[in-house]
Structure 1
């Protein structure tokens, strides 16, 4: 319960910051797949990084798995900002 409250608080704080900054934030989603791919990127999700704890790589993979479906299809128009 405490985690959910903290998460909701951070989301609300981000919305207030976005509103106060007067930057236009990308919020619109494409209704269907877009016809042109402008950019693509592939990299390893889990990789060895010296003395870095492998659990951090696992956590990164989980975070990306949760986030990707939520940002897929967001349209970033000229003058808009996208951040996550």
Structure 2
């Protein structure tokens, strides 16, 4: 089985209501899985957060949220094991 990240985008983002400097949001990740010769796509919505300096730009915030989501996906793939990823 192979798992490949096709696309990753920030769906929404907002400042945390109580924690200063923390941004929260949702990242959409589109994955392709090939198992047993068949391909299937998975559309995931991942809740993420990042602590950011107050002067961070929207681009920096979106990049931090996407990196958090990519880290979650990497851990998912690692937990599948070498025979399954």
- Which one has the largest radius of gyration? 1
Higher strand proportion, which one?
2
Q: TM-score, normalised by structure 2?
A: 0.26
Q: TM-score, normalised by structure 1?
A: 0.26
Higher helix proportion, which one?
1
More relative contact order in 1 or in 2 (CA 8 Å, sep 6+)? 1
